Structure 1
Amino acid sequence: MKIQPQHVVSLTYDLYVKKEDGTEGLQESATQEQPLTFLFGAGQMIPKFEEELSTLSTGDTYDFHIQAAEAYGEFDEEAVANLPKEMFQGQEMPQIGEVLPLQDNNGNRFQGQVVSINEDSVIVDLNHPMAGQDLHFKGEILNVRPATPEELSHGHAHGPDGHHAH
């Protein structure tokens, strides 16, 4: 079956990114035993990722690159926050490298990685961990099926067969 909006796609993928020495390294994978299953066209995936898959059908393999700007964005040197240490009163001080769940004044949730700690503040990098990375995806389309009415109303897939795992 061909991939189209309001269909659930299950696929395998290997995601490669450039390492510091210029070679590609495997970043993450989805296997046949644990595929990535998602509702196509629901805005859950990188738009360019869906665009690349949009002509494929069950059984097709794929191999494509997505530039950083069309993936998680370029690395933004300005995307750094100074959090006052008072924010952490009564709890353990975060460690460098730790990823903190944060929320802005509008209630938007995001994550920031602690890059340094000084006398009165904790410095957090708000860039997505994959910002600035060109992505290279390889994989196979395992299954394409129409979404169930329940999946469409929830806006996401409920697993390869349309049911929540229990």
Structure 2
Amino acid sequence: MKIEAQHVVSLTYDLYVNNDQGTEELVESATLEQPLTFLFGAGQMLPKFEENLSTLSTGDAYDFRLSAEDAYGEINEEAVANLPKEMFQGQDLPEIGSILPLQDNQGNHFQGQVVSIAEDGVIVDLNHPMAGQALHFKGNIVNVRPATPEELAHGHAHGPDGHHHH
């Protein structure tokens, strides 16, 4: 079956990014046992990722690259926050390099990576961990099926066979 909007797509992928040595390094995979399953066209995936898959059908292999701009954006040097140390009262200060789950005033969840500990606070980089990186995806389309009315109502896929909620 061909991939179309309002279809549920299951696929395997290997995601490669260039490491500091300039060679490609595998950073994430979805396997046949644990494929990535998503509702196509629902805005859950990177738009350019979906665009690259839009001509494919069940059983097709794919191999494409996304520029940093088309993926998670370039690194924004200003996307840094200084978290007051009071936030960490009663617990140890996080280590440099650790990832903190954060929430903004609108209730949006995101992650920040601790870059340094200052006298009065913890300096956190809010860029997506893959910002500034070109992504290379390789994989296969495992299955394509029309979404169920329930999935369309919820705006996301319910697992490969459509029943379980995570």
Task: Give the TM-score band, short-chain normalised.
Answer: over 0.9
- The alignment's TM-score, normalised by the length of structure 1, stands at 0.96
Matched residue SS, 1:15 = strand
Distance 2:112 2:43 in 1: 23
1:95-110 equivalent positions in 2, closer than 5 A: 95-110=95-110
How far apart in 2 are the matches of 1:34 and 1:56? 20
Amino-acid identity (%): 80
Counterparts of 1:59-70 in structure 2 under 5 Å? 59-70=59-70
User: 2:106 corresponds to which letter in structure 1?
Assistant: N
CA distance in 2, matches of 1:129, 1:106: 22
Q: Note the C-alpha offset of 1:101.
A: 1.2
Partner of 2:143: 143
Q: What one-letter code is carried by the residue in structure 2 that aligns with 1:114?
A: V
String of CA shifts for 1:68-120, please: whole Å, max 9, x gaps: 00100001111111111111112332111111111122222211011110111
> Per the alignment, do residues 43 and 67 of structure 1 end up closer, same or farther by CA in structure 2, a change over 3 Å counting?
same
Q: Give the Cα–Cα distance (whole angstroms) in 2 for the partners of residues 31 and 106 of structure 1.
A: 35
Aligned residue pairs, count: 166
Q: 2:82 is matched with which residue?
A: 82
Residues 5-37 of structure 1 show CA distances to partners (whole Å, capped at 9, x for unaligned) of 110000000001001111101111101111000
Structure 2: unaligned runs, 5 residues or longer: none
RMSD: 1.2
Q: Which stretches of structure 1, 4 residues or longer, exceed 2 Å deviation after superposition?
A: none
Q: 1:26-68: per-residue Cα shift (whole Å, max 9, x none)? A: 1111011110000001110000000000000001100000000
